[in-house]
Amino acid sequence: MKKIKLEIVGLSYSQKQSGAYALVLGEAKGKRRLPIIIGGFEAQAIAIELEKMAPSRPLTHDLFKTFSDNFNISINEVIIYNLVEGIFFAKLIATNGDKEIEIDARTSDAIALALRFGCPVYTFEFILSTAGIILDDDSKSSLLNPAAEEDESLEPKAPQSEFSALTLDELQQQMNEALGHEDYEKASRIRDEIAKRGEK
């Protein structure tokens, strides 16, 4: 089957599922979007790498990357290869230079690792046609499969936060403190507040 390359379009808080996030992947040469619901920890791992934040101690995915580098193991690509009852299945295509192997992984972990290894993410046509969203010329979306979408918006957004009254300097200071205390969930919320103000 022909592989279709995906890129990260956005990461937003799920409005329908408490404590969950919607990771939106987009067709590299097309208008279709693939929303995937992921947990808070995985969302933090992805957001930290997207924003190039520097946690005071390595996260699990950072540890995996360091371990792999030290043993000359690399990930060449990630493939989201199946969709069963609303659950996406992914695999890592890894190599040590001599042989290539496939490793089963949760899709959220696979994406977090793809970011750290700088490798491409692919899927297949049947997954995009089953669970994808098509954007028309007015950037309005129509669902191909309503059950696959858990968030109402494709744009990264944050809910009303407790940081609304703070200045940008205060937000930056609080984010640095949160990172210092390894409170990545709080740092992620502050980052969303800073980003939201930048859009205005």
The CA distance from 117 to 62, in Å, is 10
DSSP H helical segments within 125-180, as ranges? 125-131, 168-180
Residues carrying CATH 3.10.690.10, the chain: 3-155
Q: What is the pLDDT of residue 76?
A: 97
Q: How much is the pLDDT for 160?
A: 47
Q: Which pLDDT does position 16 carry in this prediction? A: 67
CATH hierarchy code of domain 3-155: 3.10.690.10
135 vs 79: CA distance, rounded Å:
23
pTM: 0.69
Query: What is the token pair recorded at 114?
Result: 């793809």
Cβ atoms of residues 87 and 24 within 8 Å: no
> pLDDT tens, position by position, for the chain (200 residues)?
899 999 999 888 776 677 788 899 999 988 899 999 998 889 999 999 998 888 888 889 999 999 999 999 999 999 999 999 889 999 999 999 999 999 999 999 999 999 999 999 999 999 999 999 886 544 434 333 333 433 333 333 334 457 777 788 888 888 778 777 777 777 777 877 777 776 55
The pLDDT assigned to 23 comes to 92
Distance, in Å, from the CA atom of 142 to the CA atom of 131, rounded to the nearest integer, reads 11
The count of other CB atoms within 10 Å of the CB of residue 98 is 6
